[in-house]
Structures are given as structure tokens and as C-alpha cells.
Amino acid sequence: MKINPWGSELIKDYEPLFNEFGLQHVTDEMRERFEKNREFRRGIVFAHRGFDDYVKAADEGKRVAVMSGIKPSSEFHLGSKLTAEEIIFMQKEFGAAAFYAVADNEALADNGMGCEETAPLAVSNVADLLALGLDPDNAFVYKQSTCLPVLNFAQLAARRTTMATLEALYGHQNLSLYLAVLTQAGDILQPLFKENGFERVVVPVGVDQDPHIRFSRDLAAKLGYPLPAAAFHRFFRALNGETKMSKRDPDSMLSLSDSADDVKRKVSKALTGGRSTVEEQKKLGAEWRKCVVYELMFYHFEDDDKELEKIRTQCETGKIMCGECKLKRIKKIQDYLKKHQEKKKKLMPKAEELLEERACGMEAD
């Protein structure tokens, strides 16, 4: 079994990942402690590496950080939203300092997009992050291409890495992707660099990114850093239900910049668990487990568990047909995005300010 961070395949069964790659289960105790957080409560965050040690360190009052980032190759999509919400949760829950890498070097490596193309997307992405609730006073937002300590670390990491290791983790890739991997290890470990002085870092991330986490943990062990922890979330399926959402196919996903018309057009075509005729659906009910429209509510747009239960009940008892159900969910998403986009507009200048070139890292206390 291989996990490909750049691929579009869905993982149908998550269970083998625990045995094969040594992921740790999110325990009931963790779920209870963090039940206010939608991702933990609903099992969207389902696995981790070393998150228990991270929590312990935070409880003991150690300086902790949370690290993640975005490749500025498109507008913020729902996968980026999930990660952003987890960063914001760690900031609030543990007082963690947030390190957010705008991976413009990776956009060049993976998508061939130069900085002129990615710069406006980077500002837009960071404004989305702020509108979702990031506290900019406890955050360090930076572009990979301007962060010398991270770029220097990639050189150091290259000295400690063989091609065999990279091929075993990622398969045959071109050298620019391997370089992006080395740089990303620098992003992940940066909070632990002496000049930043954090004692633990956690990376909230989709489980498809686990090869980066394993690679960074191996490097950390070789270089004498504490191992970075990770909290993994499940994939959100593309709207057609068949693949992972992909930035390369804008119609496969919703973005936080979508207009009301975009939402209507995309969600109207999304996969449901509806039956082939109205009569059949009235008699048998529909199958919300197969339905991407239900997943949109579960993962993103319905915080209230009772409302979710209502959707399930109406669905499986055939009380509502998919057409009517979709219209209600479309309205909910349109309302959410309208509010978000109003907030984001006001935060664009702050995003620009955060991305201005400046010294890299956060001062140690």
C-alpha cells in the first residue's frame, strides 16, 4: 500500500493504515476532551502520530506550536479550510503559536507556477485563513521562497537523505518534488529551530500527507529535534464522489471564493445517495452514507449535531427527496460563503501585511 501526497486516489479503508504505517488511533478520551471541536467530535480527525505527547507537553506549560501551510496554486478549498480550522483550534486550545507556510516553491515544483502567478493567490489564501479566525498576533505567516532558515534546512536535510529513502516514501518523482519535500521538512521543523525555541510542534493534515510527516520525524530523530506530532483528518471526496478533491479540477470541489451561482451549479451536480425513482425513494428512503451533499454538511457546514441527525432521519425514511434536500443545503452553503467573503474582504490588507518580506521565524521568549 502506498500513500501518494500528489495523487487523486481515495483511500476506501483507513484501517490498514494503522498496522501498515503505525498511525495511532484518536482515543475516546481525546474525543471527549476536545468534543467542542467538530473534527475531533465527529471522528473527522481519526488518527495521529505523537499527539498524546504533544498534549502532555502543552499541559505541562511547554512552549508549543502548530504548523501547516498551503500551496498557493488556487483559491482556498474545503481541504484547506479543514486544516485551517484545526490550526485555529490548536491556537485557542493550547495557546500554540501558528506557523503557516505559503508553499510557493512547491507551487513552482508541482504546478510550474512562478511567483508572479502565485503572489495574488497567496494574499487571498491568507485572507481566508484570517477570516476563518486565525489570531495573527500569535502566528507567523511566510512564503517558503523568502524564508532562508527553511531553505538552508533543505540543504542540511539533503545531506542526511538518500534517493533510496525518497523513492521508498514517494516512488519515482522528478527532482523538484523531492526538493519540495526537503523544504517542507524545514517548514515542519522550523518552530523547533533554536532561534524559535518551541519545544513541540503538531501538524494538522490530511492523511494523504503522512509520507511528509514520516520523513520529517526521521530527520528530526537524526538531527536531535523532538519528533513533530501530527493529527490526521479523513479525505473529503470530490463532489462526484469518486476521487479526492483536486485543485487541478475546480469543478470537483467548492472553494471559499465561489459565488452563489457556482455553489448552485456544483452542488446540483454532486453525487447523492438517492434512489432511481421518487416512488422507490419514498418507499425505501435514500442512502446518506453515499451522499456527498450530506458529507458537505457533516464536514463543513452544519455544526449542530441535532440538525445533522434530522437530515439523516428525513433522508433514510424517504420524507425528503434529493432535489428539495439539495436546495436547502445549497442555501446553507451560500449563506456561509457570503458571510465569509464579506469578512475576508476586510482582511485583505492584513494578509498583505503578513506576507511582506521580513525576518523569518518567531522570537523566542
- Min dist CB 304 to ligand SF4, Å, is 16
Q: How far is CA 343 from CA 101, 102, 189, in A?
A: 22, 21, 32
Choose, by CB under 6 A, the member of 130, 205, 291, 347 that binds ligand SF4.
291
Nearer to ligand SF4, 45 or 330 (CB): 330
333 binds ligand SF4 (CB under 6 A): no
* 316, 288 contact by CB (below 8 A): yes
Alpha helices in the chain (DSSP H): 15-21, 28-33, 38-41, 51-59, 78-94, 104-111, 115-132, 148-159, 163-170, 175-189, 210-223, 260-268, 278-284, 292-296, 305-316, 322-355
**Cβ 320 to ligand SF4, closest distance in Å?**
5
Which residue lies nearer to ligand SF4 by CB, 98 or 286?
Answer: 286
296 binds ligand SF4 (CB under 6 A): no
Strands 229-233 and 97-102 turn out to be unpaired
With CB under 6 A as the contact rule, the residue among 274, 302, 337, 344 that binds ligand SF4 is: 274
Place of cell 487571498: 124
CA distance 123 to 140: 14
Pick the stretch among 181-189, 221-229, 289-297, 335-343 that binds ligand SF4 (CB under 6 A).
Answer: 289-297
Does residue number 50 form part of the binding site for ligand SF4 (CB under 6 A)?
A: no
Using CB under 6 A as the binding rule, whether residue 266 contacts ligand SF4 is answered as: no
Stretch that binds ligand SF4, among 25-33, 66-74, 301-309, 318-326 (CB under 6 A): 318-326
CA atoms of 127 and 348, how far apart (whole Å): 5
- In sequence order, what DSSP letters do the residues of 23-35 get, joined into one string? -EEPPHHHHHHTT
Q: How far is the CB of 271 from ligand SF4 (least distance, A)?
A: 9
Position 322 contacts ligand SF4 (CB under 6 A): yes
Tell me how many residues contact ligand SF4 (CB under 6 A): 14
Q: Does 311 bind ligand SF4 (CB under 6 A)?
A: yes
- Phi/psi at 178 (5° precision): -65, -40
The residues that touch ligand SF4, with contacts defined as CB under 6 A, are 272-274, 286, 288, 291, 293-294, 311, 315, 320, 322, 325-326
